[in-house]
A and B are shown apart, each in its own frame.
Chain A
């Protein structure tokens, strides 16, 4: 009677499982991104939605093609793990919402094929695929990647309709100057380069607004900092991510920014502006916490986060680009193996160097 059960394989222990799964994790992250994304759709209208959709679908398509070309088995299951979808989603969050369709497609190609599959697929890539794509796009096509639109909520009269939105995404309609706007970081950088003091530049009426509500120019992922933060906290509470990397990133930007602003307010933005603008929140909670490309231990993640934050601040304040989260993350991605090497946990019964600890003198009781 009992000889009929599954005895065809040798099973190693354990014979139980906690129930977590890759797909489960990816779905949670996507769920956490949902509020900010929906807000972005409302804020920037139909074109934003079309670009998002195109980017996601292209990611899935490129993932499918790559797996097919490599002759992998069970393509459906790999597609279903949600990692390609998440990469596409994160990429779409960092693009200008009214960018033409091909930006999404090219970005998806770079992210999935060059950023991930070339390295061997999920778990083997050194750099975060979405950030690789974002940086490659920014360097290759600077114009469409820096053309931001002023918010035109779906409910407002000037908002493009469904068909109009489609035309914008397909590149049939050119943006008027009235529609375009600058992000606060971009504006600050431009004004600084013109020799205008930041205190004066930001005091004027035409300075881009900055608020937690996020009604301002920017990408999907930078407008609603408060919603991104909420999503990040959800991930923290559900245990998908840990606090070290996000805290590191935020502290890495805020501390030098606060110091520099206190010293020279005319040249350096204050910490609050830094934290709320650009892709910082998104980077801190959703990209610096990417399992594959960040260190494994908590200590390592803290170092990683601090590095990302610091480099971001340096690029923003001293570099040529107004925004530096993507560059900072890629740079720190490259350092991940080294950080991992130096932050190995101590093995029980061994010193940090790996030698067995000395036993304490015996005989206190005997």
Chain B
């Protein structure tokens, strides 16, 4: 295997057409704050945040709207100044179109920052203090997984990672927000990287940037020149280079164990956008309330990268980006390979929104499904080494266990298999379905266990109650007997009468 890789280069993944330009080369724009913002409480992996404001309350930009809840969660802040007008359900940016709890904020038009506490010399701070401040700013991973960044920082400090890997791969087609950030704000990103090095205790940072972004590589190399510990490493453009395991493999040659985390090989991976957010949070005290979003696709009037406040509706972002030229075949949040199709455009932008794509039919290239011809294109494309065709075959007949047996749990849903499938089989949908179904079964199992415990507790209670009742009755009887005996000793005649 290793020998084959030496001779034939990297054998995993695919080379999709990247469609990044011209959007990547257009200057960044900033979207004005819309009248109303819908700030979702589930913008991160983990438990939804708990509202910390009341309806009718006035807030400034950057004031905390919601507290983290549970071990894995993140705080949420006001993206502008204004009044909280509602806390209720709105359609979630999710293919199902199900509701999500959100805080509605009516802008007062001033966009006034709350009092911010920056830190002029953050390297004097304790690493734990940096993590604390990053948590307070509600920073989450901006590459798409939206894992709370502070948690990752403190975990990596505990597991003593030696290398911080910065993900500037941005391997998804169409997206260019990380590219744009690296070109425009390389200094801020490098500062963020150094802060993260300080917070994690890692000795060096490797910034992996795909070689189809020469401008970003140049800008980042320039900004990182004074700092020997920050190394810019161009990597071949290949999908899914931005996947954690692949990037670690390419940059360090280490393979992360299937059941482990990058920390097991002494590595932690963060997105370059997250580095900028960390810089903003620590240096300027600004919480994460807006982000750069790539708006792209054949149906968009003026494709490009736009700074969008969190909570703006997709509809408004599209309108700002020159409106729609034609009705899109599909509207996507994120990239085309792993992004979610949106049921409609009246859903809010969240912290993890890297892109909004309005694709036409030619770009989506969706066709009717045909039978599998076992061509094994998917096997060659899979970056993990799975057999997508076998997995789908098992899932099709409802054999989830069989699918797990051939590696369903290792699937990262990158979409390479479905991208190359000549029969247009929706392989990722099969896998997503199976994973969801397995989670549901697990929930049912846990519930059944809880039920059994409750039923047992009840039968124990009933037994106890019966026992207590019997004891009580026995005691009463004994008391009565004792009383009777006492009475009898006083007047034997009665006792005799009772015995008769």
Any A–B CB pair closer than 8 Å: yes
Q: Footprint of B on A, CB under 8 Å?
A: 1-7, 10-22, 24-25, 74, 77, 81, 83, 121-124, 291-292, 296-298, 344-350, 356-360, 362-366
Q: Report the minimum CB–CB distance from B47 to chain A (whole Å).
A: 25
Q: Which of B350-379 contact A (CB under 8 A)?
A: 357-359, 363-368, 370-377, 379
Task: Give the residues in chain B near A349, CB-CB below 8 Å.
Answer: 245, 255-260, 384, 410
Q: Report the minimum CB–CB distance from B414 to chain A (whole Å).
A: 8
Task: Give the residues in chain B near A123, CB-CB below 8 Å.
Answer: 371-374, 423
Q: Do B329 and A5 have beta carbons less than 8 Å apart?
A: yes
Task: Give the residues in chain B near A360, CB-CB below 8 Å.
Answer: 254, 265-266
Proximity bits, B427-440, A CB within 8 Å = 1, else 0: 01100100000000
Tell which of B264, B345, B357, B422 touches A359, judged by Cβ atoms closer than 8 Å: B264
Q: Do B161 and A13 have beta carbons less than 8 Å apart?
A: no
Q: Do A2 and B364 have beta carbons less than 8 Å apart?
A: no
Closest residue of chain A to B379, judged by CB? A296
Q: Do A22 and B329 have beta carbons less than 8 Å apart?
A: no
Q: Which of B440-457 contact A (CB under 8 A)?
A: none
B159 interface contact, C-beta 8 A: yes
**Can you name 10 A-B pairs with beta carbons within 8 Å?**
A2-B314, A5-B329, A7-B344, A13-B340, A345-B385, A348-B385, A350-B410, A359-B256, A359-B264, A364-B266
Report the separation of the CA atoms of residues A77 and B367 in the bound assembly, to the nearest whole angstrom. Answer: 12
Report the separation of the CA atoms of residues A295 and B236 in the bound assembly, to the nearest whole angstrom. Answer: 30
B251 interface contact, C-beta 8 A: no
Q: Do A347 and B386 have beta carbons less than 8 Å apart?
A: yes
Report the separation of the CA atoms of residues A154 and B235 in the bound assembly, to the nearest whole angstrom. Answer: 59
Could you tell me the dominant secondary structure of chain A's interface residues?
loop
Could you tell me the dominant secondary structure of chain B's interface residues?
loop
B43 interface contact, C-beta 8 A: no
B122 interface contact, C-beta 8 A: no
Report the separation of the CA atoms of residues A158 and B414 in the bound assembly, to the nearest whole angstrom. Answer: 63
B95 interface contact, C-beta 8 A: yes
Task: Give the residues in chain A near B358, CB-CB below 8 Å.
Answer: 2
B318 interface contact, C-beta 8 A: yes
Report the separation of the CA atoms of residues A22 and B420 in the bound assembly, to the nearest whole angstrom. Answer: 11
Q: Report the minimum CB–CB distance from B257 to chain A (whole Å).
A: 4
B389 interface contact, C-beta 8 A: yes
Q: Report the minimum CB–CB distance from A126 to chain B (whole Å).
A: 11
Q: Do A362 and B330 have beta carbons less than 8 Å apart?
A: no
Tell which of A16, A81, A347 touches B364, judged by Cβ atoms closer than 8 Å: A16
A-B contact sample (7 more), CB < 8 A, given A12-B432, A291-B374, A365-B204: A2-B314, A16-B16, A17-B419, A25-B422, A124-B371, A296-B389, A348-B249
Q: Report the minimum CB–CB distance from B320 to chain A (whole Å).
A: 13
Tell which of A18, A344, A357 touches B16, judged by Cβ atoms closer than 8 Å: A18
Q: Do A13 and B258 have beta carbons less than 8 Å apart?
A: no
Q: Beyond A13-B415, A365-B203, is A347–B258 a contact (Cβ under 8 Å)? A: yes
